[in-house]
Structure 1
Amino acid sequence: MVSVSLLQRLERDDVVGGSGSTVNDDTAIMNSVLSNLRSLLNSRRNCCETRPDYGLQDFNATEDYRSSIPLIARDVERQIRLFEPRIRNVIVRAVEDKTQLSQLIFHINGELAHGDRTVRISFDSVLGSDGYMRLNG
């Protein structure tokens, strides 16, 4: 299984001097996953002609966005299952924070699989009022 993206491996080879060594560092792999998820979860459906299902649905048109929270959580989970194969058994649940009413928080649990190892991971995805998804993990 690939631990980091092709571009990240090429960038690393430039920095390391072309050693071609395999990246096994959990931090580097998790950073690669989070980078991919930032791109994925900040893309909107139909942004990619070859994969119209890539990206989240546009929920801005919904009058009552609070009723859309379960739909957004399901869409986030679906996107991760489809487009981030390094995360398995993903579960996304909405978290209510009454102090942050302008943000939607989604807690994401799963298993990061790389090589012959599987590591439990957990992080939060915060959808701000600006429509931008931030990942905290």
Structure 2
Amino acid sequence: MRDQLSSEGNLLASILDRLIDDDPEVTHEPVQYRMLNIRQVKASVIRDLENLLNTRRHIDPPPIEFAELNRSVLTYGIEDFTALNSRSLAVQKFLRQDIERTIARFEPRLRNVKLQLEPDKQGHGIRFKINAMLVIEPEKEPVQFDTFFDPNRGEYVISR
């Protein structure tokens, strides 16, 4: 994966970032539009994490004989726990474990993902930090994302 790093220190954009076309009228884009710096990579990870956390999984885990489905779009997203009591320690533990597993499964740029639940001083939602190692070959960098779940909107927001 060393070819991800260009001579300017930029990184090859993810496939999704390369497919997004901000200017569809231009039919030939220079190579630099397919390259990102570390700040842009982090913004891309945040966008993708928000999409992952704001997608609800609608099926139970597949039977063991269909283990390959665990990484398919059928299991993309997290459990919908909005009807559960988010102040319950058991629910918080379930949420933390589900989010850690889901990020590990669907966000390959992040390794050693750990969630740290934090008290919400306003008491309106759930706050937590996502701690992980951002792996962009040949580099690794520890990252931390402050995350808030707003139960009124049913939405996760990651601070930029």
Shared fold by TM > 0.5?
Answer: yes
- SS of residue in 2 equivalent to 1:75: helix
Once residues 60 and 13 of structure 1 are traced to their aligned partners in structure 2, the CA distance between those partners, rounded to angstroms, is 38
Match of 1:20 in 2: 31
Q: Look up the equivalent residue of 1:133 and give its one-letter code.
A: Y
Larger radius of gyration: 2
Matches within 5 A, 1:109-128: 109-128=131-150
Instruction: Deviation per CA, 1:31-61: give whole Å up to 9, x if none.
Output: 11111111100000128x9533211111122
TM-score normalised by length of structure 1: 0.83
Q: Look up the equivalent residue of 1:101 and give its one-letter code.
A: G
Once residues 66 and 52 of structure 1 are traced to their aligned partners in structure 2, the CA distance between those partners, rounded to angstroms, is 29
Matches within 5 A, 1:88-103: 88-97=111-120, 99-103=121-125
Match of 1:8 in 2: 17
Q: Is the 8 A contact 1:13 1:19 kept in 2?
A: no
- Over the aligned positions, Cα root-mean-square deviation in angstroms equals 2.4
Choose the corresponding residue for 1:83, options 94, 106, 113.
Answer: 106
Q: Percent identity?
A: 32
Once residues 5 and 134 of structure 1 are traced to their aligned partners in structure 2, the CA distance between those partners, rounded to angstroms, is 21
Choose the corresponding residue for 2:43, options 31, 39, 49.
Answer: 31
- SS of residue in 2 equivalent to 1:40: helix
Match of 1:132 in 2: 155
In the TM superposition, residue 101 of structure 1 has moved relative to its aligned partner by: 0.6
Q: How many residues align?
A: 133
Once residues 82 and 137 of structure 2 are traced to their aligned partners in structure 1, the CA distance between those partners, rounded to angstroms, is 39
In the TM superposition, residue 24 of structure 1 has moved relative to its aligned partner by: 4.5
In the TM superposition, residue 5 of structure 1 has moved relative to its aligned partner by: 2.5
Once residues 36 and 23 of structure 2 are traced to their aligned partners in structure 1, the CA distance between those partners, rounded to angstroms, is 14
Once residues 103 and 127 of structure 1 are traced to their aligned partners in structure 2, the CA distance between those partners, rounded to angstroms, is 6
TM-score normalised by length of structure 2: 0.73
Q: Look up the equivalent residue of 1:94 and give its one-letter code.
A: L
Q: Look up the equivalent residue of 1:38 and give its one-letter code.
A: E
